Structure 1
Amino acid sequence: MRHGRYPFILSFLVLPVGLYAWLVILPFAQAFQISLTDWSGSSNSFEYIGFDNYVNLFKDERFVLPALRHTGIILLVMPLVTIALGLFFAFMLNLGGRVRRGRIEGVRGARFHKIVFFFPQVLSVAIVGILWKQVYAPENFGGLITGALKAVGLPAPANGFLADTRFVLAAVIGVLVWSAVGFYLVYFSSAMASIPRDLYEAAIIDGAGRGPMFFKITLPLLWDSVQTAWIYLSIIALDVFVLVYLMTPEQGGPDASSEVVGGVIWKYAFKHGEQAFASAIGVVLFFAALSLAVVSLRVGRRERIEF
């Protein structure tokens, strides 16, 4: 019986593993092969040029280097702000109410607040991009933020936030945080529900406030959830091109001030006809995402707390 168990298990794995290899691994292998050539995408002839595309990739000061810098900023700021806000709102909604008879309560109407925060998750990226493009528009085009700033006598960019090189990247990051924080509020709230209330009640008896309870009880017990959230948000930060394409002028402008790696891949592949160079950028992005996930799991690993 034991001897025949492994062929039985392998019979179930053959199809899914085969599909994964065909639909995921093979395209990545083909992209790596293309990146070693000079293929333009419009002809069947090409020559192998080795790692020239990878060498030239880091010499492109017009698109690639600004895109790497902007993607790095998004990768650092967006997950950090989203997780911080998600934890803060989840903690306040679940444990920010009054203390009655030694028991800590959540905020009244917490379920309704969670629904309101989660609402951006039901919107497609296209709707989010078009919506916020109008919010950031100049005052004479009905821009909500610029109009509000002018109404209270504060300065606002004449051409809107998205047409100003000083604000466009911050504007994109703000939309990313707005669209993601509701999901992680619900995610962290679900994780907090598994923490025994006895721990908080004991902390209240010892005279602990909200701050010590968060840093001494909630955050250590939610560390695995925070680590998972960081990895997923980092992947989202690396794949932000759709929002940049929909919101910004010149799909990464103005003057490449909101250019991201995904946008550079699209421009070289479909506008400049350099499929091999675009494939090289895609391969670098793939290994960057893979390395980021591995490093996050290794660096963020700590002893599991049982409760």
Structure 2
Amino acid sequence: MPPRFTPARVRYDRRYRTLDKYRFILGFLALPLLFYAIFVISPFFQAIWYSFTDWSGGATANFIGFGNYEKMWNDERFWDSTTTSLLLLFVAPLITLVLGIFFAFMITSGGRHRKGQAISGVAGSSVYKVVYFFPQVLSIAIIAVVWQRVFSTRSGLLNGGLEAVGLGDFEQAWLGGEYSLALIATLTVLCWSFVGFYVVLFSAAMGAIPKDIYEAALLDGAGRGKTFFKVTLPLIWDTVRTGWIYMGIQALDSFAIVLVMVPKHALKVTPVFLYERFREGQFGYATSIGVVLLVLSVVFSLLIMRIGNRDRIEY
């Protein structure tokens, strides 16, 4: 006699299959989640705890409450470095993303109309992708050393080039002189080193847009600029918002570039200030600065998610 499939029996079978599926998934995720909790989540809580202590690297760490944060609040060096970091946080993503979107649009849709192709990139677009992405294969320390030579006052390529073309009056001490010049040099290197990544990222997002949408826009009489702002940008907005957050965190963590390239007296950012406190043995104070950097990163991410929130466009 065949089994009777009553509604209650069907609901029971579904519930059992669902439970069995989650057990199967949990079995695979348990070990990775354990490692993630130990090696990623746990250090965050340890850093927060040490930020409330006077730990100096020894076996003991005395709880001092908000003493480190009060010291930080009254430390002018911290505020000077944080002001620079905040400038990089908001300016560097803006410049990098604008350049990345522009280059990506030219590579994917900026070429002339070819026979049989209503939309195409500029000639040699595949080569441009490799050229733009090249800085990503270099160590950030190597990039900082190379650009330090470029901005060098006496033998640098930039000042030497200005003198060679008769513009010697514009030579500057780019790294060891004024604060504004060191900030411009840091922004230049930061944007140059990361723009290639976003060119590839945005090119992939634009390449996923169906060509039919572009062709329909062209048939309606839309020009290249209108097509970009009315079609391309709305369809890749989620990618742009993600890139904005990622680049903001990279700008906030401009440790290697500033430490290697810029002299100490010319420019300070918060990660370098934190590193110097570690070298002095002020581990509790340094971890409190790290907690502030964590809070800044989270606030910035939430702010961009809030500002950039818009209805998702499906295609």
Provide the TM-score with structure 2 as the length reference: 0.89
Residue 11 of structure 1: how far off its partner (Å): 2.3
Question: How far apart, in 2, do the equivalents of 1:58 and 1:93 lie?
Answer: 48
Unaligned runs of 5+ in 1: none
- Give the CA deviation at 1:220: 0.3
Asked if residue 185 in structure 1 is aligned to residue 199 in structure 2, the reply is: yes
Does residue 13 in structure 1 map to residue 22 in structure 2?
A: no
What's the secondary structure of 1:249's corresponding residue?
Answer: coil
Corresponding residue number in structure 2 for 1:132: 147
* Structure-1 residue corresponding to 2:273: 264
Asked if 1 retains the 8 angstrom alpha-carbon contact of 2:50 and 2:61, the reply is no
Alpha-carbon separation, structure 2, partners of 1:116 and 1:125: 17
Structure 2 alignment gaps of length 5 or more: 1-15
Question: Once the 2 structures are TM-superposed, how far is the Cα of residue 152 of structure 1 from its aligned partner?
Answer: 2.5
Of the structure 1 ranges 146-155 and 240-249, higher mean CA displacement relative to structure 2 is found in 146-155
- Three-state SS of the structure 1 residue aligned to 2:221 is coil
Q: Aligned-pair distance for 1:52?
A: 1.4
Residues matched between the structures, number = 296
50, 56, 63: which is aligned to 1:48? 63
Identity %: 46
Letter in 2 for 1:47: N
Structure 1 position 38, deviation (Å): 1.3
CA contact (8 A) 1:36 1:49 kept: yes
Asked if 1:119 corresponds to 2:134, the answer is yes
Pick the structure with greater CA Rg. 2
1:295 counterpart (285, 290, 303): 303
> Structure 2 counterpart of 1:7, which letter?
R
Superposed CA offset, 1:21-48 (max 9, x none): 111121111111111111222x334421
What does residue 176 of structure 2 align with? 163
Quick one: distance in 2 between partners of 1:19 and 1:30? 16
**Structure 1's 145 and 281: CA in aligned 2 closer, same or farther, altered over 3 A?**
same
Give me the CA root mean square deviation: 1.6
CA distance in 2, matches of 1:9, 1:200: 41
Where do residues 18-97 of structure 1 align in structure 2 (5 Å cutoff)?
A: 18-41=34-57, 43-61=58-76, 63-97=77-111
Letter in 2 for 1:185: V
Match of 2:75, SS? Answer: coil
State the 1:194 CA deviation. Answer: 1.1
Aligned to 1:110: 125
**Cα deviation, residue 157, structure 1:** 4.3
Q: Distance in 2 between matches of 1:81 and 1:98?
A: 26
Q: Is the 8 A contact 1:157 1:164 kept in 2?
A: no
For 1:278, the equivalent position in structure 2 comes to: 286
Q: Find out whether 1:144 has 2:157 as its counterpart.
A: yes
Amino acid at match of 1:286: L
Deviations 1:147-197 (A, max 9, x none): 111223333345x31112230011011001111111111111111111122
Which deviates more from structure 2 when the two are superposed, residues 12-21 or residues 232-241? Answer: 12-21
Question: Does the Cα contact within 8 Å between 1:241 and 1:262 map onto a contact in 2?
Answer: yes
Using a 3 Å threshold, how does the CA distance of structure 1 residues 68 and 205 change in structure 2: closer, same or farther?
same
